[in-house]
């Protein structure tokens, strides 16, 4: 038997006994929001192609809202408070794997196709979305401490927030002067309920809230799945 063939056989045998790299698992202190409250709508956009990238985002294997437990418990309080206001909590994005953040960065550097521009960023060049603060290179979502959320009426009727989710434009700034008093009132009502539960709004996005936890967050890359 030639030496090269022996080496190839040895390499094949060694490869067969080396375990494949394990997929990252959800952190132990993460929980599914729906296990804490049923008064919500999970409209997880990055698990579907109807988002600003036009594709299912890497890392999203199921349309499920996972958050760190303290954040999820606070958000359950939000859902209860909104229910008392005649609204139903809608979550668009919760925990976001680091692979998803990296995918946003790659997408921003790709040539413009026009596929989603009119619906999501008509007045901004995609390459400028990071610079203008609409997409972050390091996202609090990856720590399980941030959520993108809105609301509908309890009967399912839409509530006017002035723009759709992830409409990357100055009109989406929470207190934009370009929206009506009714829209501003709806945004401020949403913000009041979130702030009462310990969240802070990101001023450029009426839908984005971060939980003010004394415990620092640690970014994860576990995929979003139905179960841990």
Q: Walk across the sheet containing 40-42 and list its strands.
A: 40-42, 87-93, 146-153, 205-211, 199-202
Locus of tokens 């401490």: 145
CB-CB contact of 190 with 202 (8 Å): no
Helix (H) or strand (E) holding 84: helix 69-84
CB-CB contact of 66 with 29 (8 Å): no
Q: φ, ψ for residue 208 (rounded to 5)?
A: -100, 125
The CA–CA distances, whole Å, from 52 to 67, 119, 135, 167, 204 equal 22, 8, 11, 8, 16
Kindly state the DSSP code that residue 63 receives in the 8-state scheme.
-
Catalytic residues: 205
Locus of tokens 């375990």: 19
Helix (H) or strand (E) holding 41: strand 40-42
Number of Cα atoms under 13 Å in the Cβ half of residue 108: 22
Number of Cα atoms under 13 Å in the Cβ half of residue 115: 12
CB-CB contact of 82 with 193 (8 Å): yes
């Amino acid at each position: 038997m030639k030496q090269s063939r022996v080496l190839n056989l040895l390499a094949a045998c060694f490869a067969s006994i080396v375990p494949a790299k394990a997929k990252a698992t959800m952190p132990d202190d993460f929980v599914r929001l729906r296990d804490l409250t049923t008064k919500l709508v999970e409209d997880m956009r990055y698990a579907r192609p109807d988002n600003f990238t036009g594709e299912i985002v890497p890392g999203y294997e199921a349309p499920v809202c996972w958050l760190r437990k303290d954040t999820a418990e606070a958000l359950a309080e939000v859902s209860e408070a909104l229910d008392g206001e005649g609204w139903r909590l809608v979550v668009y994005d919760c925990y976001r794997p680091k692979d998803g953040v990296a995918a946003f960065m790659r997408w921003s550097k790709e040539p413009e196709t026009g596929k989603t521009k009119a619906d999501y960023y008509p007045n901004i060049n995609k390459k400028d979305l990071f610079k203008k603060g609409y997409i972050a290179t390091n996202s609090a979502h990856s720590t399980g401490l941030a959520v993108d959320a809105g609301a509908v009426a309890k009967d399912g009727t839409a509530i006017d927030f002035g723009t759709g989710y992830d409409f990357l434009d100055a009109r989406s700034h929470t207190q934009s002067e370009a929206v009506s008093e009714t829209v501003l009132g709806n945004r401020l009502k949403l913000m009041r309920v979130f702030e009462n539960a310990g969240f802070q709004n990101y001023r450029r996005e009426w839908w984005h809230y971060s939980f003010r936890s004394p415990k620092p967050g640690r970014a994860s890359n576990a995929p979003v799945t139905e179960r841990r």
